Structure 1
């Protein structure tokens, strides 16, 4: 007698669908686990004492005892079922098409892979930058919650061989350092290029700065890089100070000890900026305690931000003053300072060291302001530059 087991087509295994056919005269064993015992028809007389009957009855009450499609002598220890009772005799494979021997899956061969080293596109600056000369000093410190320093600065003295012509800038990157890096390296040069072809009037200088900002934005967008940057710049020329900004970096003048803000932050919450954004189909909402353009960006002007370019414009606001004897120094700084330190407090802190103190250096004053903001919980990058204006008179 030869036996075979078959399963009725089903998307999942179900013991009620198992039948065993004994290739003898009208011998069929049908298993239904829903009943207390298996029903045998019509071979009950010839198969009632068969060891298959007791074995499959036990299997119906515990599915874990049957490995579907792999029933044979190799499925369990010789002579013993899973529950410790006597197992059925091994099934014959002859003619039934039943898989009798359990086969292990083929070993998976995983080839060795090469190890690649990640190289950033732009070399990160160190955690802290300190620079000092007789005319200026700057201190930049990476924020405690930042992986990379995104702030940049620029100071170019003796432009075109003129000791009274200089360019200074602080550039606060967001969404990466690429925009701040590009602006710091190119904006001053673009402005000087335009100045070399225009007149010497203040209107010409302000127009040259405007063109320099716009060209910086245009050229950066051509690189198809992510992120953007807020900018604040100061151009010293012929005894005049021309200050410009796009974003939330700020310029504050110490005029005989009194703080005078020369720029106004470009934030979506500013009434005129909000009206401009909404007139262009954008919106401003408060997210995590900060008013943001399209719910994401906390500034409304700057370089880059290609995905928001419809609303984030590079158009700078510019103010020109004559450097008088009471104009002591200029503070250029990112919002990492201004979010924690007021204009007057920044002037008082720096002035106490530079003028009323024991002759401390400009760099020490910059570091003092950076440390003050950090002590008050700033997690942002902090960049502070102090320009000694009387050195250019």
Structure 2
């Protein structure tokens, strides 16, 4: 059998001596009825060429291989193998050879582009460690933790149906990868609005529930791994409707008093623990963290297909009438709440959100993240502040 490799002299390649490169391979062999014609293999265009592809002789069986600078005519390497099975020793022809390697292109530094659906680069760089967005109705600030890729996401839809007094917002804390949080940020708020339209604006609690369940079903059909805690705030018809599945939390400032509008879905919660055990699962505690099946530390959210029997996507929903004493709403992932209490969040943010001529909610979001980090938070954090007076 023979093998011929054509080596290009194009300037995009530089000489190296350690590897033999080709891109594509074409194979041909003579028929068994023509024994005089040797089977041949012709390799061209430079992919990685290793001993697993063609069995080469040991160094003791070969003479020295002469490496020369590229000439104006491509040189070839012919390998003659004495077996149809390519299993015997080979002889390298004495044609001058040059082995070339493609130059690696320079690394691109792509900046972060923040949108209303909280998109982040797949591989966070220094530029992706901190993202901030400021609007008239809301601000959001996200910071990557020290555990790996940024898995928190957010979304914001304002001026719903052309009404400046309506909007829907969300914070999503992913686990086991970014896919679930990204999917929820793109689809959950839209699914809730679609459910409302289908019901002619009635039964908002059921609309939110079905929006969550539909998003979960759609994500599971994609067969992606991982899951996400979800928290949404819908403002319409003078009402604030907050839904959550997981341990993201919503806290409103009522004349300076913190009021939690959600309850964290953790396996340690008695009703959640009872529900899981009734459905055949178990909850245990390791290093002061309660987990389902010894694995997941939250009991609701979208995704988590391998635990779907116990990790449900059905949200809990709270409805408040918008009144002047409701100043601002904080939506945040657990990276903040694990280190800062509800009242501390309101006390820290309020001086920058109310009672001043020019509110600075973005500075308040940053200050809350800095406070959590100073207390040892290493988790991803996403903090959104919604100025409720904009919707009254």
- TM-score of the two chains, using structure 2 as the length reference: 0.68
Counterpart position of 1:353: 352
Q: CA deviation at 1:161?
A: 1.3
- Give yes or no for contact 1:191–1:212 (8 Å, CA) kept in 2: yes
Alpha-carbon distance between aligned partners in 2 of 1:189 and 1:113, rounded to the nearest angstrom? 50
- 1:242 and 2:259 aligned: no
Counterpart position of 1:382: 381
Q: Which has the higher strand share?
A: 2
Alpha-carbon distance between aligned partners in 2 of 1:141 and 1:289, rounded to the nearest angstrom? 25
Alpha-carbon distance between aligned partners in 2 of 1:369 and 1:238, rounded to the nearest angstrom? 30
Q: CA deviation at 1:359?
A: 3.8
Alpha-carbon distance between aligned partners in 2 of 1:107 and 1:336, rounded to the nearest angstrom? 62
Alpha-carbon distance between aligned partners in 2 of 1:112 and 1:305, rounded to the nearest angstrom? 47
Matched residue of 1:236: which SS? strand
Q: What are the within-5 Å matches in structure 2 for residues 214-225 of structure 1?
A: 214-225=213-224
Counterpart position of 2:158: 157
From 120, 135, 142, give the equivalent of 2:137: 135
Matched residue of 2:231: which SS? strand
Alpha-carbon distance between aligned partners in 1 of 2:212 and 2:226, rounded to the nearest angstrom? 16
Larger Rg: 1
Q: CA deviation at 1:358?
A: 7.1
Q: Which has the higher helix share?
A: 1
Matched residue of 1:211: which SS? helix
Q: CA deviation at 1:122?
A: 7.2
CA deviation vs aligned residue, 1:327-361 (integer Å, no higher than 9, x gap)? 00000000000000000000000002222567451
Runs of 5+ consecutive residues of structure 1 not aligned to the other structure: 1-105
Q: What are the within-5 Å matches in structure 2 for residues 86-105 of structure 1?
A: none
- TM-score of the two chains, using structure 1 as the length reference: 0.68
Alpha-carbon distance between aligned partners in 2 of 1:367 and 1:219, rounded to the nearest angstrom? 34
Q: What are the within-5 Å matches in structure 2 for residues 53-202 of structure 1?
A: 123-124=122-123, 126-146=128-148, 148-201=149-202
Counterparts in 2 of 1:144 and 1:219: CA distance versus 1, 3 Å: same
Counterparts in 2 of 1:334 and 1:107: CA distance versus 1, 3 Å: farther
Counterpart position of 1:275: 274
Q: CA deviation at 1:134?
A: 1.2
Q: CA deviation at 1:145?
A: 2.4
Q: CA deviation at 1:364?
A: 0.4
Matched residue of 2:198: which SS? coil
Alpha-carbon distance between aligned partners in 2 of 1:108 and 1:122, rounded to the nearest angstrom? 50
- 1:208 and 2:210 aligned: no
Alpha-carbon distance between aligned partners in 2 of 1:206 and 1:114, rounded to the nearest angstrom? 59
Q: CA deviation at 1:116?
A: 11
Q: CA deviation at 1:200?
A: 3.0
Matched residue of 1:167: which SS? strand
- Give yes or no for contact 1:244–1:317 (8 Å, CA) kept in 2: yes
Q: Would you say how many aligned residue pairs link Structure 1 and Structure 2?
A: 283
Runs of 5+ consecutive residues of structure 2 not aligned to the other structure: 1-88, 93-98, 106-119
- Give yes or no for contact 2:268–2:290 (8 Å, CA) kept in 1: yes
Counterpart position of 2:53: none
Alpha-carbon distance between aligned partners in 1 of 2:318 and 2:193, rounded to the nearest angstrom? 18
- Give yes or no for contact 1:122–1:178 (8 Å, CA) kept in 2: no
Alpha-carbon distance between aligned partners in 1 of 2:102 and 2:292, rounded to the nearest angstrom? 44
